[in-house]
Amino acid sequence: MRCRFALSPVLETIQAIRLTTPEDVPGHHRGFLHSVRHQLTALDLRPVTLLQPRRGYSPDFLSPPPTVPHPRFADELACIEATPLDRVREEVARSLRDSRGGDRTDVGRRLLADPADALRMLTGVIRDVWQEVIEPVWPRVRALLDADVAYQSRRMAEGGLDWLFAELHPQLRWHDGVLTRERGDDEHRDLTGNGLLLMPSAFKWDQVLVILDDPWQPTVIYPARGLATLWQSASAQELASLGRLVGRTRATLLAGLAEPATTSVLAHRHALAAGTVSEHLTVLRDSGLVVGERHRHEVRYRRTPLGIALVDQAV
């Protein structure tokens, strides 16, 4: 009964910064990141990217848990700035141990040398990226996240947690009162009345993140439904000719297959019914534009060379 939804401007900003690193795939944000490349290259993002290893620990103090559904960026940043310096020192050191030589870089050594200076550097980067890159597009991002919360809340009101978790994200499974994340770590947590904080994300687009450590309420951060439509207006004209050839929805699905994906993942990203996606994929497959390949218990679709050539010609 304590399940709730919340958004986080700071979380979205940090996840956008992560997408600038070679280890992360930008996915549907590739075009957006290209459009703001001049703003990003003018900023030194290393203090934050060093502390965001692809696999490993990232400082908890950089992502304070939201206490209200729609926190303001300024309030979240103020919470980070108030972090005790002992905690900054401890969490920065722990993260740098997981960053493959990060503690031996000039920036890493500076972060370790003075926690007060480290806190100023980190909050400065986050503030700059917010102001220069994320804030101008925040109304669009916020609209996507709000739409996800409205959709999920309606499902919960109509069918309870069973309905909510049935479609929250393809990586999540709900059975007999247990929520399971596929391809997750081997961790277990009895909620014992704590409920869940559910946070849709636009820039954490490729996987579900679970947070179980204090001071967070047990939290699930998941890619927002329909995130493939976030920048769609910018690319609609470019895909118009492909849409006239194969149909608008099939053109969108084909263009969105930058990496292999299952029917359920595509349905979630494009805010479509799974049956609709399956029908369109069948047509694309029969036309030689995509192929389905079994990976363990699921079928992932990818573009064929012909499909790649068509998309490249369109864009």
Q: Report pLDDT digits (tens) over 102-158.
A: 888 999 999 999 999 999 999 999 999 999 999 999 999 999 999 999 999 998 888
| Mean pLDDT within 256-273 | 84
For 168-238, where are the alpha helices, taking DSSP H only?
A: 232-235
Q: Which residues, 6 or more positions from 70, have their beta carbon under 8 angstroms from its beta carbon?
A: 6, 7
Whose structure tokens read 């390949």?
293
pLDDT at 159: 87
pLDDT at 237: 61
Cα distances (angstroms) measured from residue 198 to each of 101, 145, 153, 183, 261: 34, 12, 11, 19, 23
Q: Report pLDDT digits (tens) over 186-242.
A: 778 888 888 899 999 999 988 898 888 777 888 999 999 988 888 876 456 667 778
Could you tell me how many residues make up the chain? 315
Closest Cα partner for 252 from 236, 263, 273?
A: 236
Q: Which amino acid is at 96?
A: L
Q: Look at residue 169 and tell me whether its pLDDT is greater than 70.
A: yes
- CA 238 – CA 255 distance, rounded (Å): 11
Which is it for strands 290-295 and 298-303: parallel, antiparallel or unpaired? antiparallel
Instruction: Say how many C-beta atoms besides its own lie within 10 A of residue 119's C-beta.
Output: 23
- CA 309 – CA 315 distance, rounded (Å): 10
- DSSP category for residue 131: I
23 versus 46: the higher-pLDDT residue is 46
- DSSP category for residue 3: -
Instruction: Say how many C-beta atoms besides its own lie within 10 A of residue 291's C-beta.
Output: 14
Q: Which two tokens stand for residue 161?
A: 């947690």
For the chain, where are the alpha helices, taking DSSP H only?
A: 9-18, 30-35, 37-41, 46-49, 73-81, 85-97, 106-113, 115-129, 138-167, 232-235, 240-246, 248-256, 263-270, 274-286, 305-314
Q: Look at residue 57 and tell me whether its pLDDT is greater than 70.
A: yes
Q: Which two tokens stand for residue 15?
A: 């996840």
Closest Cα partner for 60 from 4, 129, 10, 19?
A: 10
Farthest CA pair distance, the chain: 61
Q: Which residues, 6 or more positions from 182, have their beta carbon under 8 angstroms from its beta carbon?
A: 171, 172, 173
What's the pTM?
0.82
Q: Report pLDDT digits (tens) over 291-315.
A: 998 877 788 898 998 988 888 776 6
- CA 22 – CA 75 distance, rounded (Å): 31
Q: Are 90 and 122 in contact (CB under 8 A)?
A: no
